[in-house]
Every structure is written in C-alpha cells, then in structure tokens.
Amino acid sequence: MHRRLALLSLSALAAGGLLLPAAPAGAAPKTAPPAEEEAADTRAEQRQVLDYWTPSKMANAQPLAAPAPRPPAGNGQGEPGQPNGTRWTAPPTDPQATVSTGNPWTKGGQVVRTTGRVFFTYQGRNASCSGSAVTSANKSVVITAGHCVKLGGAFHTNWVFVPGYDNGQRPYGTWVATKLITTPQWNAREDINYDIAAAVVAPQQGRSLTDVVGGQGVAFNQPRRQQMYAFGYPAAAPYNGSKLIYCAGRAFDDFLLSRDHGLTCNMTGGSSGGPWLVGFDESTGHGTVNSVNSFKYNFAPNWMFGPYFGNEAQAVYNEAQSTGAA
C-alpha cells in the first residue's frame, strides 16, 4: 500500500442538497451523529489561547506525516455521488476549464477574507492547516479537514482561525474555537473518505466571524467531476505558508484507496482543510464549498484529493451552525 502525505503543518518540526446561508439544523438526512469536543468555551480560556499564539509560533509551522488511506470496506463497488457503481475515469481534459496547479491568488475578492490559516497544538507540538468561513445560522462556522481538528486519537488544543493571513499579518483578527466537530467515521478510525470537520469560533468585540469576513456557501450531495477551485496556505517547500495559493480545474475521481475527488494541484503541507469551491466567480471571489484539501499520494505530488461532501458532512455542518458561539 502506498503511503500518503498529509497536508498538516507542525511547528517545532506539516441539486441534491445545496445548503447556502442558515439551513435549519437537523435538515440533513439521518446519519450517525458527529463527534465533538469542547474547546476554549470561556473568556479566560479564549484569552489564554490568544496569548499563546505569538507571531513566531505561527511562522514556524512545518509539515507532518499522517495515516495512509485504507482500502474501502466491502467489495469497493459504488461511490458517494455515483449510485450506479461506476469507477474512476482518467482526469478529463477540458479546454474550457480554468486551470491552475498552484499559484498565488492575486485577484482579491471575498475568498481572501474567508480563507485563512488554522493553528493548533497536536501532541504537544504546534501545527497549522487551512480553513474557510462559511455562511451559517450562528455566523461562526469554519469548515476544515478532519485531521485538522483531531489526529492520533485526540482532539487538538489551542485551536484558532486566522482569516486573510498574509505574510504574518492578521488583518481580520484571530478567532478562537469554542467547539470542534468531525464525522463519526474520522473520529472512530480516521477514514480518509470522511476527513471533514468544522469549528465554531467565539465572537470578537460583539461581532461574529461572518459579520467581519463574510462567508462562502456550502453544498452537499452534488454531482462529481465539476470545475473546482481549491484554496489554502501550503507551508512546505516550495511554499512557506505566507500567501494564499489556489488550484483550479475539473475534478476527477480517485481510483486507488479513496472515494475522494481529485484535482491536479501541487499545494503542499499546510493547505489541508482549505476549501474546494464550485460555482466560483473570479470577479467576486465567492463560491460554494464542496470539499476540502485532504491528502496526497507520495508517488503523485501533483494530485490533491478531497472528500465527497455527503450526508455526513452535512450533519457536521448542521451541528456546528446550531451551536452557540460563547
């Protein structure tokens, strides 16, 4: 079995179900309840977390390896979003598609404000990922990858979201998580097909996250093989985590050890949890989150994979947006 490269970063060492603003909690079809962990849910704890994250700690995040994808259970037939059981087809060539394999995003727009770096402590070491602010009932939800909230059997601590991070600058503040939520499949066995999570962040000076930065939409149970834009803050060479990077192209289906989407993309460690957007408008920087950066195979550094957003992802989102942000 080939091992994969996680897209985490560590310091000290990296339509079917469209939901846009404020879908009511409980709207998702019945599925196993998400796993959740209380984070910094008091003002005193939030202040401690904010004081913890000095500029030097944020600047020192480096890549970390994580578990390899596991073979699918059962006979492997069928895929989320592909009820007829069809399997992988080669990445399509589409001359009409917008293509980028990993370039700095220079066009501005909402995506610059809603995408950010995520920082946390993992097994006593400081780490970073990426994430996205999304529209929600409580205006306080960040979507990211499962391994960006929990890995190796424990939820991370000191978890913060820094939207619009730019070469060490925090133009929209540092937002402390009050609750971390992931899928039951990731929580129980780190199933790469469900590497999905959300964080609820505390208000700042009486204002909620999306009051300050806005939010991208969220979509579930959508068709595969769409044009997608992936964003994140890769920190491993040739990147250094200082700038927002993007890839774009038509998604394909993983044919190896997952049921994920794939994109031709050379983002590296630290981009995990960054949003994949469908219906993205380059002129406004707005789209709809339909996956997140999750993993790479070590033999295919130019392919990025992200989980299919089905009922389990929808349940995570609904749980997050129904949670009060302390």
pLDDT in tens, 153-195: 999 999 999 999 998 999 999 999 999 999 999 999 999 999 9
pLDDT of residue 30: 63
In this structure, CATH architecture of domain 4-68+88-321: Beta Barrel (2.40)
Q: Is the pLDDT of residue 65 over 60?
A: no
Q: Which residue type is seen at 32?
A: A
pTM: 0.85
pLDDT of residue 82: 43
Q: Is the pLDDT of residue 295 over 50?
A: yes
Q: Which run of H or of E encompasses 186?
A: helix 184-189
pLDDT of residue 68: 63
Of 81, 55, 99, the C-alpha closest to 248 is 99
Average pLDDT in the chain: 85
Give the least confident one: 94-103, 131-140, 239-248, 283-292: 94-103
The model's confidence at residue 93, banded by pLDDT at 50, 70 and 90, is: low
The model's confidence at residue 14, banded by pLDDT at 50, 70 and 90, is: very low
Tell me what percent of the residues of the chain surpass a pLDDT of 90.
69
24: DSSP letter: P
Q: Which run of H or of E encompasses 316?
A: helix 311-321
Among all chains, which residue has been given the structure tokens 């540092």?
Answer: 174
